[in-house]
Chains A and B, each alone.
Chain A
């Protein structure tokens, strides 16, 4: 009996081994697993009449013009400057997914803006207190997720400072390490900066105090070609202006 069970398990293990193939690296297998999972999710959604995120059928006009999620979608004055795609504010994924907040109303340095351009913003390292609060946040490779208790603590501190100092404005700079593609890293840097901004807003900061810049991999903090350098370069860092 034991022999037969062992036989069955062996066959199953061999089948699993053959099916996955052994020519890919562990990173590639994990990468493909994530892609497969997303496709399976999309497939299941299609079965139930949903064709991907943000695609549930709008049933009533009110659904479209709902202000349940004022930060995204719908018909809002802050979108007068462009025409957004039609999203379904009732989309269940909005609850689960990260909710992004549109950029601040004012654009630093623009004509008519009360906030000066970046030349007026300073590196917080000039002040010991600010330096302790506005510490860089670090990211995993090819990721814009802010993870780890330490990063969340830093974010909370920054958000609390901004809440109690309404005359302080910050730029969040999104940076990447040298390994990624040049062009794509500009977009990834923007996503990292916006992830940080969104987190600060969730922790109570005013959206109009926070601006974003993406530098891609143009401004590494550390010159080096190993993980110790790369992890320091995959960061969101800050510049401050006090009015």
Chain B
């Protein structure tokens, strides 16, 4: 056997492991969710005295059950609960008594006056749910929170706000044009959004009470798109094509609105969807500079910094077509949407373990994840040709639940 034959034979055998490991194998992290939530029982609502109808009482109970079921902390398990929650109504006042099946201790919560207007009473129940979770389990609840989103009917898209469960939906903008990508401005009663009211998309800010028309925030020429605001509300990142290419810009908002500056540019690439880290020092964003859109993270450079000094870190290593990054409020994870088997799913990338975890599956694209303040819950929208709905999920439960209601395409959720 001559040396050439020997060489080729060795090549062949050495390359077999390459085949085994070069095949695209998804990294699947199995989540054991079975033991992470505490089992509880919610007894039927007991009407002791009063004139409230059974139907209304059931609706009240349903609100409470929903809050508990999707809290990510407890699960309804009448077989072996650790806690039993007893709701009762007397003279239009709702009371809650919690009994521990372990030590049989009891705790009673202050009675809530029911107005018999479900839109008002829902919020009272949500507050009770959050109080309960904080008291018993030391966990920040999400039931009292709200979300902004864009709702498109026909050619018009307006901004709406609703409770976290999709109820109490109300329209905020009335511009009769495309209004998209709303963002709360932290610590204020205002929000940002992109509007096409004057033709070219620009970023506006407006009050959540919807009383006044939005005012333009940034005077740069060209398109202004995809705003992302820092957790403390002092900085805004966005995409602008003032240079002739959609690049990443930042503008200080506080103590006063400053001069915008370019923070990332790549000549042969498209940039999009900036999301700040909670300390406001880093930003995750989308770029197709390496071929397909992927999520990158970088330290925010100072104004006028040299491009050569900017280093980006690839976040979505394992997935193509990654978009819409959302940095969790606790700074430990980045959620994003990426393609798997041709369908866009929601993933999270853990910045400590450097592992990616798939949160959704099944048909239908899912996009634009947004985090709750507790860094446990996410809302995203489906993105199918004739159906865009909002869904709620949490990291402790496999199930997702649809929260949006009514007609129209609901997109770009933002959680307060």
**A243 at interface, CB cutoff 8 A:** no
What is the number of residues of chain A that contact chain B, defined by CB distance less than 8 Å? 83
Question: Hey, what's the 0/1 contact readout for A80-101 against B, CB within 8 Å counting as 1?
Answer: 0111111110000110011011
Q: Are the CB atoms of A181 and B241 closer together than 8 Å?
A: no
**A158 at interface, CB cutoff 8 A:** no
Partner of A181, one of B11, B22, B261, B293: B293
Q: Are the CB atoms of A12 and B8 closer together than 8 Å?
A: yes
Q: Which of A55, A184, A215 has the most CB of B within 10 A?
A: A184
- Give B120 Cβ to nearest chain A Cβ, in Å: 34
**B206 at interface, CB cutoff 8 A:** no
Partner of A11, one of B12, B200, B308: B12
Bound together, the chains give a CA A198 to CA B241 distance in angstroms of: 12
Q: Are the CB atoms of B11 and A183 closer together than 8 Å?
A: no
Q: Are the CB atoms of A103 and B367 closer together than 8 Å?
A: no
Q: Could you say which residues of chain A place their CB within 8 Å of the CB of B241?
A: 103, 190-191, 193-194, 212, 214
Q: Could you say which residues of chain A place their CB within 8 Å of the CB of B290?
A: 35, 38-39
**A125 at interface, CB cutoff 8 A:** no
Q: Could you say which residues of chain A place their CB within 8 Å of the CB of B246?
A: 187, 190-191, 194, 214
**B257 at interface, CB cutoff 8 A:** no
Bound together, the chains give a CA A50 to CA B288 distance in angstroms of: 20
Q: Are the CB atoms of B220 and A81 closer together than 8 Å?
A: yes
Question: Hey, what's the 0/1 contact readout for B12-56 against A, CB within 8 Å counting as 1?
Answer: 100110110011100000000000000000000000000000000
**A148 at interface, CB cutoff 8 A:** no
**B364 at interface, CB cutoff 8 A:** no
What is the number of residues of chain B that contact chain A, defined by CB distance less than 8 Å? 82
Q: Could you say which residues of chain B place their CB within 8 Å of the CB of A34?
A: 291
Contacts between chains A and B (CB distance < 8 A), count = 242
Q: Could you say which residues of chain B place their CB within 8 Å of the CB of A84?
A: 243, 261-262, 304
Bound together, the chains give a CA A83 to CA B16 distance in angstroms of: 53
- Give A170 Cβ to nearest chain B Cβ, in Å: 12
Bound together, the chains give a CA A211 to CA B200 distance in angstroms of: 9
- CB-CB under 8 A for A103 and B199, given A15-B15, A187-B239: no
Q: Could you say which residues of chain A place their CB within 8 Å of the CB of B240?
A: 82
- CB-CB under 8 A for A104 and B304, given A19-B15, A183-B367: no
**A114 at interface, CB cutoff 8 A:** no
**A56 at interface, CB cutoff 8 A:** yes
Q: Are the CB atoms of B223 and A190 closer together than 8 Å?
A: yes
Q: Could you say which residues of chain B place their CB within 8 Å of the CB of A18?
A: 15-16, 18-19, 22
Q: Are the CB atoms of B198 and A109 closer together than 8 Å?
A: yes
Q: Could you say which residues of chain B place their CB within 8 Å of the CB of A56?
A: 308
Q: Could you say which residues of chain B place their CB within 8 Å of the CB of A51?
A: 308
In the complex, chain B residues 399-415 whose Cβ is within 8 Å of any chain A Cβ: 411-412
In the complex, chain A residues 82-135 whose Cβ is within 8 Å of any chain B Cβ: 82-88, 93-94, 97-98, 100-105, 107-110, 117-119, 121
Q: Are the CB atoms of A8 and B199 closer together than 8 Å?
A: no
- Give A231 Cβ to nearest chain B Cβ, in Å: 16
- Give B327 Cβ to nearest chain A Cβ, in Å: 15
Q: Could you say which residues of chain A place their CB within 8 Å of the CB of B220?
A: 81-82
Q: Are the CB atoms of A11 and B8 closer together than 8 Å?
A: yes
Q: Are the CB atoms of B293 and A31 closer together than 8 Å?
A: no
Q: Are the CB atoms of A198 and B244 closer together than 8 Å?
A: yes
- CB-CB under 8 A for A81 and B308, given A11-B12, A184-B272: no
- CB-CB under 8 A for A118 and B199, given A24-B24, A31-B291, A82-B220: yes
**A71 at interface, CB cutoff 8 A:** yes
Bound together, the chains give a CA A110 to CA B220 distance in angstroms of: 11
Q: Are the CB atoms of B201 and A31 closer together than 8 Å?
A: no
Bound together, the chains give a CA A187 to CA B19 distance in angstroms of: 37
In the complex, chain A residues 1-41 whose Cβ is within 8 Å of any chain B Cβ: 4, 7-8, 11-12, 14-15, 17-24, 28, 31-32, 34-35, 38-39
Q: Could you say which residues of chain A place their CB within 8 Å of the CB of B244?
A: 71-72, 100-103, 194, 197-198
Bound together, the chains give a CA A162 to CA B345 distance in angstroms of: 45
- The 7 A-B pairs with the shortest beta carbon distances in the complex, nearest first, are A118-B199, A100-B244, A55-B308, A18-B19, A187-B272, A83-B261, A35-B291
Q: Report 22 cross-chain contacts, Cβ distance below 8 Å, ordered by A residue.
A: A15-B12, A15-B15, A18-B16, A28-B24, A38-B291, A52-B308, A54-B307, A82-B220, A84-B262, A85-B264, A85-B306, A98-B267, A98-B268, A107-B200, A117-B199, A118-B199, A119-B199, A183-B323, A194-B241, A214-B201, A214-B223, A218-B178
Q: A86-B304, A109-B198 are in contact. List 7 more A-B contacts (CB 8 A).
A: A24-B24, A57-B308, A82-B260, A181-B365, A187-B225, A197-B244, A213-B196
